[in-house]
Structure 1
Amino acid sequence: MTLLSLSNVTAFYGPSQALFDVNLTVAEGEVVALMGRNGMGKSTTVKVICRMLQHRDGNVAFAGRDLRALPSHKVARAGVGLVPEGRRCFAQLSVEENLIASARRGEWDLARVSALFPRLGERRDQLAASLSGGEQQMLAIGRALMTNPRLLILDEATEGLAPVVRQEIWAAISRLKSETGLSILVIDKSLKELATVADRAVVLEKGRDVWSGDFANLTEDVRSRYLGV
């Protein structure tokens, strides 16, 4: 069953058009990679989904519900959990306070997040500002999971992190896929790691979806044309 659907979506920043008839779907239990070079519309697409940017034309639906009229906090309550680019943890709150600040009743609680990321359990009383960049990223993911979402959106969740921390986060994403059946939309540049978790991919170029299909069918021509530096 389709959980998230974007159909012919256009969006603007003032007079400048950023998205041109973008189409994207995520099914229940599916992991979809949203890909493209920097500045091609990936984060703009996320903003439209989460209603931080209003789209002008087309349709955006989540679980069969039109999102156009909803403010961003109600989209979160509907079941969309966002791990934003840049983490945006509450610096002067503790790890535990960050997690419970977004908590909603469901399967994800402090114990389960700590099982996924043991470092958060070990540092639950520390201020978020005192954590390393990798630990803050784990906290951002844990905070999103505490909303007990139906769809988790990861916007550049491993960017700028040390290789060992990146491996921990990819291992956690793999566990989320295999153990929870959570739907995930992931933006990342690492084709090698994406190949281990993504079922499908959608590629954006200058605000347009130019390729979509099974991740295994992402050809070298598509990679070099739309994803290469």
Structure 2
Amino acid sequence: MSLLALKQITASYGASQALFGVDLTIEEGQVLALMGRNGMGKSTTIKVICRLLQHSEGSVEFAGKDIGGLPAHKAARLGLGLVPEGRRCFTNLSVYENLYASARPGLWDFDKVHALFPRLAERHDQLAGSLSGGEQQMLAIGRALMTNPRLLILDEATEGLAPVVRQEIWAAISTLKKSGDLSILVVDKTLSELRQIADQVVVLERGVSVWSGTIDALSGDIRDRYLGV
């Protein structure tokens, strides 16, 4: 049984349709990369998965359950951990308070998050709003892990970060993959880094799933047609 399965998802923002037929499947312990040019429906797909946007057609199943009728907070409690684009930390709370606010019982606790991101331990009492962009992204990932999700969703987790910080984030994602404790859905454009972690790739074009397969099977023609600038 798949952990997550989207079948022929359509969705709109008011009168403007954004998704026209999205299909993707994630197995337990698998890392899936969702790719496509800007504006092709990747973030909208994530909103549908996390129940932040209601789809109009198709089905969303998580852990064998149809979650299409659930509100976002109930879907999250089933094991969806979102690291949203733009981080969205609680800037007026400390690092500790950000992590504590999302904590749920399970494998992930303060010690494990601090081991993954030692800088969060160093900045334990610092306000999140005073952290660097990279540190805020580490905090956003740590906060999602503290919910003890079954599926970790990373929306442009390294966008706009300095190269050295990007490497730290990708190393952490690689560590999470190797642990085998999580399934991961990652939205990113960087093939070199995705090649190190992704088991499968789904490519979106104008709100439709147009290609799926292993990242090694992404031919030059596919890259040029759907991922090139």
- TM-score greater than 0.5 by the shorter chain: yes
Query: Share of identical aligned residues, percent?
Result: 72
Partner of residue 220, structure 1: 220
Q: Distance between the aligned counterparts of 1:181 and 1:74, measured in 2?
A: 21
- Cα-to-partner distance string for 1:142-161 (whole Å, 9 max, x where unaligned): 00000000000000000000
Note the residue ranges of structure 2 that are not aligned, 5 or more in a row: none
Q: Which amino acid aligns with 1:51?
A: R
Q: Paired residue for 1:28?
A: 28
The SS at the match of 2:47 is helix
Aligned runs of 1:9-88 on 2, under 5 Å? 9-88=9-88
Give the C-alpha shift of residue 10 in structure 1: 0.5
SS in 2 for 1:148: coil
The alignment's TM-score, normalised by the length of structure 2, stands at: 0.99
Matched residue type, 2:79 = G
In structure 2, distance between residues paired with 1:124 and 1:65: 37
One-letter amino acid of the counterpart of residue 196, structure 2: T
Shift of 1:181: 3.4
2:160 is matched with which residue? 160
Distance 1:202 1:20 in 2: 15
In terms of mean alpha carbon deviation, does 18-27 or 135-144 score higher? 18-27
1:179 CA drift (Å):
1.6
Deviations 1:2-61 (A, max 9, x none): 100000111011111111111011100000000000000000000000000000010000
Report the number of matched residues: 229
Runs of 4 or more consecutive aligned structure 1 residues displaced over 4 Å after TM superposition: none
Distance (Å, rounded) in 1 between the aligned partners of 2:23 and 2:41: 12
List alignment gaps of at least 5 residues for structure 1: none
Offset at 1:198? Answer: 0.2
Q: What is the SS of the residue equivalent to 1:185? A: strand
Q: Which secondary structure state, in structure 1, belongs to the residue aligned with residue 124 of structure 2?
A: coil
Structure 1: how far apart are the matches of 2:175 and 2:193?
13
Other structure's SS at 1:2 match: coil
Q: Distance in 2 between matches of 1:2 and 1:50?
A: 17
CA contact (8 A) 1:35 1:187 kept: yes
Distance 1:25 1:113 in 2: 28
Contact 1:30 1:181 in 2 (8 A): no
Distance 1:160 1:3 in 2: 30
Give the aligned partner of residue 171 of structure 1. Answer: 171
* TM-superposition CA deviations, 1:62-109 (whole Å, max 9, x none): 001111111001111000000000000000000000001001000100
Residues in 2 aligned to 1:19 and 1:142: alpha-carbon distance in whole angstroms: 30
- Aligned equivalents of 1:227 and 1:137: distance in 2? 25
Root mean square deviation, CA, Å? 0.6
The SS at the match of 1:136 is: helix
Give, in whole Å, the separation in 1 of the partners of 2:187 and 2:21.
Answer: 19
Whole-angstrom CA distance in 1 between matches of 2:181 and 2:105: 18
